[in-house]
Amino acid sequence: MDSLATSRRRRLARAGAAIATALALALALAASLDAERSRDGGGRRVLLGASTSTALWTYAIIPFIAAFVGWGTNVVALRMTFYPLEFFPAFLAFAQPKGQPFGLLGGWQGIIPSKAGEMAEILVDLMTKKLIDIKEIFSRLDEKKVASIMDPEMRAVTEGLFEKVLATEAPLFWNGLPTVVRDELITEAVDRSSGLLENIVQDLMENVYEVLDLKSMVVRLALGNKDKVVNMFREVGAKEFLFIERSGIYFGFLFGLAQMVTFYFVDKSAPQHGIWLLPVFGFLVGYLTNYVALKIIFTPVEPKMVCGLKIHGVFMRRQNEVSEEFARLNQLHFCNAENLWDEMMTGAFKDKFEALVRRNTANFFDTAFGAGTPMVKMMLGQQKYESIKRTVIDSVFESIPDCVPVTYDYQNFALDIETTVRERMQKLPGADFERVLHPVFEQDEIKLIVVGGVLGAATGVAQYYLAFSSQ
């Protein structure tokens, strides 16, 4: 960490020295040119007045203003990428096209929040096609382990359920049995409930595609938790976003040097053109700093040697580090046991999940009393037996959400989605890895670039009227 900080200080010191040197050269050039222009017809030097000295400084600050414009437009572009989370102003939200950050009557919503669902779909497609197979992931569960963890909860449910249902729906039958027989029947049912859990988990593992829609889950969570989506992209691309901010300073200053020299000659030879020259350069500075920063992050996708130097996109060269952070945040916010089970129980395929649980519970009930099952069935009669069976099935299904949470820690450990995503993402080809972050900018980057240009042009207009129009 200390060496990294030292390295950064050295880079900043070198950058500062370079800027100071460039400024000194620019001032020397400006002074030399003014000196030449301040000689009288006989070649004698004329003393410079205060206005000339002021003019030199107004030219000299052009690169610094350009650096500020480059930094400011990049910062604004990033803010517009992430915020606001909801459309602002809210009373114009009715005019916002679906999936677009802008409103037809004005207003703005951050690009990521406005496209949270779409970006979630892109990431899910990447995960399911390149990183994880949900059936393979679920095959890592040990159904016996899951059942043993849930056993205390399910035993309590089964014991209370059977006694209550039989006493309520068949009181004559139940109360007429000797206490020892009732106890034996309840004990048998409770002991067999662990087998019910094993069967449910086993059935789930074999048919997970039918009961779990991973894309639907992630999109739903993304739309309902836009702040988490924003934070996820900000953390994954933290260094790249910092690079975008800082690069605006460096590129803006370099463009500003060209702007300074050009404007100096134009202002001296044809000052009437200055009114449009600074706004045009301001637009170019704002436009180009945004454009160049976005391109440098992702281009080139694969390392290339140019003049003996290895050139690689800023984001692309951090593949191992980014993969680790993405995998951690993905499991924390999206692909964890709690969310997976919630999706199965309440999501797009909830009816199929319910059918799976009911099917296994029906099989369990038909053998719940062991050797005593035929006797119970005969004494109750078919109609009453089926009525009690439906009640038990309903109650068991309703109890699942209360019993499953105790297994989440084990499931997260066994599924180990974080490790799987991290290791496989680190091995992705560059073209596939680029899709992790690039979608954040891709569809709307031209809007951000143009906004940078417009802000730069506005700064150029202000700069002209404040510094040059009266001279």
* Token digits of residue 388: 């009690």
Element (H, E) at 180: helix 179-206
Let me know the angle formed at the C-alpha of 28 by 24 and 33, rounded to the nearest 5 degrees: 150
Element (H, E) at 265: helix 238-269
Among 449, 461, 467, 447, CA closest to 282: 461
Is a pLDDT exceeding 50 seen at residue 277?
A: yes
**DSSP H helices in 299-444:** 319-333, 337-346, 350-367, 373-380, 382-403, 408-415, 417-426, 430-433, 439-442
Classify residue 141 by its DSSP letter: -
Q: CA dist 7 to 167, 219, 238, 293, 397, Å?
A: 77, 41, 19, 22, 60
151: CB partners within 8 A, 6+ apart: 193, 194, 197
pLDDT tens digits, 213-268: 998 898 888 888 888 888 888 888 888 888 888 888 888 888 888 888 887 887 77
pLDDT tens digits, 176-212: 888 898 888 888 888 888 889 999 999 999 999 999 9
pLDDT tens digits, 74-122: 888 888 888 898 999 999 988 898 878 888 888 988 888 888 888 888 8
pLDDT of res. 33: 46
Among 253, 278, 244, CA closest to 69: 253
CB of 170 within 8 A of CB of 193?
no
Let me know the angle formed at the C-alpha of 229 by 224 and 232, rounded to the nearest 5 degrees: 150
CA distance 139 to 206: 8
For CA atoms 233, 236, 238, 239, the dihedral sign is negative
**What residues pair up with 306 in beta bridges, in sequence order?**
309
pLDDT of res. 290: 77
Element (H, E) at 306: strand 304-306
Q: What share of the chain is helix, strand, coil (3-state, %, to 5)?
A: 80, 0, 15
pLDDT of res. 40: 46
Model confidence band, residue 138 (pLDDT cutoffs 50, 70, 90)? very high
| Amino acid letter, 262 | T
Let me know the angle formed at the C-alpha of 73 by 70 and 75, rounded to the nearest 5 degrees: 105
Model confidence band, residue 1 (pLDDT cutoffs 50, 70, 90)? very low
Is a pLDDT exceeding 80 seen at residue 11?
A: no
CA distance 122 to 117: 9
* Token digits of residue 102: 């802008």
Other CB atoms within 10 Å distance of the CB of residue 131: 22
| Average predicted confidence (pLDDT) for the chain | 81
pLDDT of res. 54: 42
Domain parsing of the chain, residue ranges: 1-57, 61-471
Model confidence band, residue 471 (pLDDT cutoffs 50, 70, 90)? low
pLDDT tens digits, 397-420: 999 999 999 999 999 999 999 999
Cα 179–chain centre separation: 60
Looking at per-residue pLDDT, the higher value among 126 and 134 belongs to 134
Q: What is the pTM of this model?
A: 0.76
Looking at per-residue pLDDT, the higher value among 6 and 152 belongs to 152
| Amino acid letter, 172 | L
Among 134, 140, 137, 138, CA closest to 215: 134
Q: CA dist 316 to 239, 311, 434, Å?
A: 12, 10, 7
Please classify residue 229 by burial: count the beta carbons closer than 10 Å to its beta carbon, then call 0-12 exposed, 13-18 middle and 19+ buried.
Answer: buried
pLDDT tens digits, 300-349: 778 787 777 778 777 888 889 989 998 999 999 999 999 999 999 999 89
